[in-house]
Structure 1
């Protein structure tokens, strides 16, 4: 089976993009097929690829592509988490789909509409620049209709005291793009962005334990990838410093869905990001997010007043994707459902 690899800059892993119609739909059969594919990757020097996107031309009249994300959980054997999404992989899928001719050739101001099957997110990928093998996007995560801010709080409160291995800690659970836990760096014993970025395994283990505790609250497997967890601190005017746990180590920057969720959380009165980013006085400005790997901007559109406020969309600009290449993965062939005749070689 012909597969393609693209890398979104700032992501901890490149994305393996596969044709959805060629692989089983059920999680059990798909996991069996992907296990063989991941073993092939490991045998060909591509074990670092831990993100998989299954993509097809959408049959829905409002969308161009349907997208399904699978997170590889490294181990022996490898496992798979089908629950969440990955914004970086959405953008990588758009780049590959264009090369396959499933959508038009990418060019500035071209907008590609993606339906995320994992969680029914609607993502518009707007092309800002396209040069050779590199495409830069603004990603727009849309809510139609707009969603009341209170419905973005899975635990029903802006902050919750979450028990974990070492006691309890105050968290803000917010779900936009993916479910996230936001923690104050101060509560973790770090008081500056530099301390946060330099922190090592003790902080990683603490945040991982907090994530596992929250997974139990969500009813998710404790050894999966969701919910995500990130620590934040104030970082100048309209800014937050952030550091997140990924699979299986620190995230080099912040997931695109993390930037989306953090931008939304900052607009919800009472959350930890709202408090640390300046509270009400800075609530409507675009949020600048600094990580150890660079900075990004998150801009959330909220309408209404007080208890009636609703989230319409969140946008994150300047997300670059580089096309890596095509590979033929023979181990997928026994699981394939139909011929590769619709695929174009690149």
Structure 2
């Protein structure tokens, strides 16, 4: 990956100096019944070369099903036929969170292989591909055991400067610390871009203090950068096609879109009464919400059963970019 790199560029490897692309997937045969493949996600520290396996990455999860099928790790997937097209369903065990993800994607040929061509557009990614439907099963309490680790929809966090801020601490797919941007003096999304956050050292320090305080209250290690992540939220009552807007930080960097597991967490949080996301979304009663982020928007579905979160669902894309050897 080119880490450790004190200059933060990863020039001596295949990383690109940003947290979104300093990531590794490790696949292995299934370790338990009723799943097809095991998957471990590794977040590689850019400057220090640390290998962080505390949480999962949703965007990387989208590649696991197609890759495991095409590379022969999954040899007999369940295949469905809909309107003359074939779709494989691969059940993935994520070792980071001990949760199961169901991936459904288009295939062709015999034996079936992933068919990436399609017309689905994913905001933030140029071009089109066939959609990959990910269902994160029983996603609540991925790291803490509960959707609301403290038992509260909102908590007050004590910060290093002795000030306080209200936050919702939610653990669905991955833990997140959700705060109103307005509580930090940021009235609208137009006043906050990833570039503006990166240029504001004082704001980044404040946000990291909030993240660390939230981690401690959730019973997590505040020194682990990958979880929880902090998300700034904006109400978006002006836009009929967006329910809520967000800006997230990942590994200390402002994300140019939104980490997928955080989008899943936000989607579920918006339907948990009393949370800050639910307050901002308001009375838009529906099973899915559309989240606006710096590169566009994403539609997140959440299914409840007997008052518990059964699954969190969305569409992604993936394709093979290259195959080869990387030397170190």
Q: What TM-score, normalized to structure 1?
A: 0.74
Q: d(CA) in 2 for partners of 1:251 and 1:297?
A: 18
Structure 1 position 263 matched with structure 2 position 249: no
Q: The residue matched to 2:32 in structure 1 has which SS?
A: coil
Distance apart, 1:321 and its partner CA: 1.6
More helix per residue:
1
Note the residue ranges of structure 1 that are not aligned, 5 or more in a row: 1-15, 17-33, 36-40, 332-346
| 1:299-322 alpha-carbon deviations (Å, 9 max, x no partner) | 111234xxxx211111112x1123
Report the Cα distance in structure 2 between the residues aligned to 1:228 and 1:282, rounded to whole angstroms. Answer: 26
Task: State how far apart, in whole Å, the 2-side matches of 1:228 and 1:298 are.
Answer: 18
Q: CA deviation at 1:135?
A: 4.7
Q: Counting strand residues as a fraction of each chain, which structure ranks higher?
A: 1
Name the structure 2 match of 1:324. 321
Work out the number of aligned pairs and report it.
Answer: 286
Equivalent residue in structure 1 for 2:12, among 35, 39, 43: 43
1:286 aligned partner: 288
Q: Among residues 109, 113, 134, which one is paired with 2:87 in the alignment?
A: 109
Q: Whose relative contact order is higher, 1 or 2, with alpha carbons under 8 Å and at least 6 apart?
A: 1
Other-structure match for 2:223: 222
* Residue deviations 1:93-151 (CA, integer Å, cap 9, x gap): 3333233122359975322111111111111112167219955212111119999xx93
- 2:157 counterpart of 1:162: yes
> Residue in 1 aligned with 2:167?
171
Answering whether residue 39 of structure 2 is matched by residue 53 of structure 1, we say no
- Mapping for residues 25-174 of structure 1, pairs under 5 Å: 42-48=11-17, 49-75=21-47, 77-103=48-74, 109-127=87-105, 130-131=116-117, 134-143=129-138, 151-166=146-161, 167-174=163-170
Answer whether contact 1:302 1:312 (CA < 8 A) is retained: yes
CA offset at residue 272 of structure 1? Answer: 0.3
Which stretches in structure 2 are left out of the alignment for 5+ residues? 5-9, 80-84, 107-114, 119-127
What's the CA shift for 1:245? Answer: 0.1
The SS at the match of 2:68 is helix
Q: CA RMSD in A?
A: 3.0
C-alpha distance in 1 between matches for 2:253 and 2:262: 16
Q: Distance in 2 between matches of 1:314 and 1:255?
A: 14
Residues 59, 78 of structure 1: CA spacing in aligned structure 2 closer, same or farther, 3 A cutoff? closer
Q: Distance in 2 between matches of 1:120 and 1:146?
A: 10
Instruction: Tell me if structure 2 keeps the 8 A contact 1:111–1:126.
Output: yes
1:207-226 superposed Cα distances (whole Å, 9 cap, x missing partner):
22211222333341425211
Give the secondary structure class of the aligned counterpart of 1:325. Answer: coil
Judge which range, 172-181 or 210-219, deviates more: 210-219
Superposed, 1:166-315 pairs within 5 Å as 166=161, 167-197=163-193, 199-200=196-197, 201=200, 202-217=202-217, 218-236=219-237, 237=240, 239-278=243-282, 281-304=283-306, 309-315=307-313
What is the alpha-carbon distance in structure 1 between the residues aligned to residue 167 and residue 140 of structure 2?
Answer: 28
